[in-house]
Chains A and B, each alone.
Chain A
Amino acid sequence: MGEAAANIQIEPQVPASVVEALEGVVDPEIPVLTIRDLGVLRGVRMEDVCVVVTITPTYSGCPAMVEIQDNIDKALRDAGVESFRIETRLAPAWTTDWMSETGKRKLEEYGIAPPRRNSEVGCPQCGSANTKLVSQFGSTACKALYQCNACLEPFDHFKCH
């Protein structure tokens, strides 16, 4: 539970099985991160018997968002939830500050330098802080491409956003 998880609003009436199902939904591009780690999942509430899931998109054009919605849909169906709705909320805009500490640690172990404000981008392979930016834009909109000057390995950096 990082500080990010704290501002995700899950109503106490929501059945634990629903929360568990949602926590199993991962980012299709970075499968080590759940939508909760990412901060994409903003809230779950009940409207009578209907489960309402609120998500906030990461980048406007991120193709993973459609897949995330499909996966939420599937996870809830698999969990036997009959009535649910997925709402997309734009404001406040998503920020990497919502990413949980657990999420950041998982990213680093996966080989992606996590977003950390006011700090050097460290190499996730050897830990060196001696790295250089290769390109502002990496394999997906949320990442930039770096290279480590110490071990020479290229790596992705999840940008602060």
Chain B
Amino acid sequence: MKNETAKFALALGDDALTMGQRLSEWISNGPFLEEDIALANVALDFVGRARMFLGYAGELEGAGRSEDDLAFQRDCREFSNLLIFELPIGDFANTMARQYLVDAFEVPYFEALSDSADETIAAIAAKTVKECRYHLRRSRDWILRLGDGTEESHQRVQIAFDEVWPFVAELFEMPDYESRLFDAGIAVDRKALNSGWEQVVRETLQEATLSMPESDHAIRGGREGVHTEHLGFLLSDLQFMQRAYPGLQW
């Protein structure tokens, strides 16, 4: 069970790390100053979450790997983040569509995970959910603004939702080890969150005058280390300094 909990913590850490890295690509490129700062703040929340989960994964693993070792010294196939988190930032509409779909999932997910039988995971989840609520408030506002905005913003955010859509299915899938952790009270049943999430998203998109993507095409593989081609580029940015100068410290 300890190995599986380590795997679980690693996966949640990888989700947060790849998302944090993506969001920080916006720094100094945001549409306006306040939004630039907001994107950086949200990125920081994800990176902070990654540190907690990866640190705990390393501790459970017991092989002496620190959060930094896990972040900077693994290659693509060893990353177990869901694909939705590694997708490129695209334009602002792409970034916000992904953010909204993720936030709408994470609020109920981390709420439920706060009751995990594993105390550390429960504590990290309880801390995370407070931040997710801010993220959701902001990303939801943006979806309404972009969807019900100009003809162009409407069109671009609709395209963004259609593009991200094949990657949402993975949010609700349970690898075997996660199902066992769920039976042990440590993990959360992702499948059970699907219909509630869909309803919330449907209402928001409707209010934003957008249409809910109907395609059931799903792209998966993240938890098994089978990634899109984008992850390698993300890691080469993220890991460059540690690869070039192993053990480098600020």
Contacts and interface: CB of A to CB of B under 8 A. Distances in A.
Contacts of B43: 61
A91 B125 CA distance: 10
A135 B123 contact: no
A135 B33 CA distance: 10
Contacts of B111: none
Interface stretch (B34-42, B66-74, B204-212, B216-224): B34-42
A93 interface: yes
A110 interface: no
A85 interface: no
B236 to A, nearest CB: 23
B48 interface: yes
Nearest to B42: A137
Contacts of B120: 90
Contact of B34 (A57, A63, A135, A140): A135
A137 B131 contact: no
A145 B34 contact: yes
B127 interface: yes
B117 to A, nearest CB: 14
Interface residues of B, number: 29
B12 to A, nearest CB: 12
Contact of B123 (A61, A63, A93, A137): A93
A60 B49 contact: yes
Interface in B118-164: 119-120, 122-124, 126-128, 130-131, 134, 137-138
A84 interface: no
A55 to B, nearest CB: 14
A74 B43 CA distance: 30
SS class, residues of chain B in contact with chain A: helix
**Chain A interface residue bracket vs B:** 20 to 34
Contacts of B119: 91
A93 B119 CA distance: 13
Interface string B92-136: 000000000000000000000000000110111011101100100
Given A134-B34, A135-B35, A59 B126 contact: no
A161 B243 CA distance: 38
A135 B46 CA distance: 19
A62 interface: yes
B45 A60 contact: yes
B130 A93 contact: yes
B41 A141 contact: yes
Interface in A111-145: 134-141, 145
Interface string B42-74: 111111110110000000000000000000000
A138 B35 CA distance: 9
B123 A59 contact: no
A137 B122 contact: no
A93 B37 contact: no
Given A61-B47, A137-B37, 9 more contacts: A60-B51, A63-B44, A90-B124, A90-B126, A91-B122, A91-B127, A93-B123, A136-B138, A145-B34
Interface of B: 20, 34-35, 37-38, 41-49, 51-52, 119-120, 122-124, 126-128, 130-131, 134, 137-138
17 contacts: A57-B127, A60-B44, A60-B51, A60-B128, A61-B46, A61-B48, A61-B51, A63-B44, A90-B120, A91-B119, A91-B126, A92-B126, A93-B126, A138-B37, A141-B44, A145-B34, A159-B134
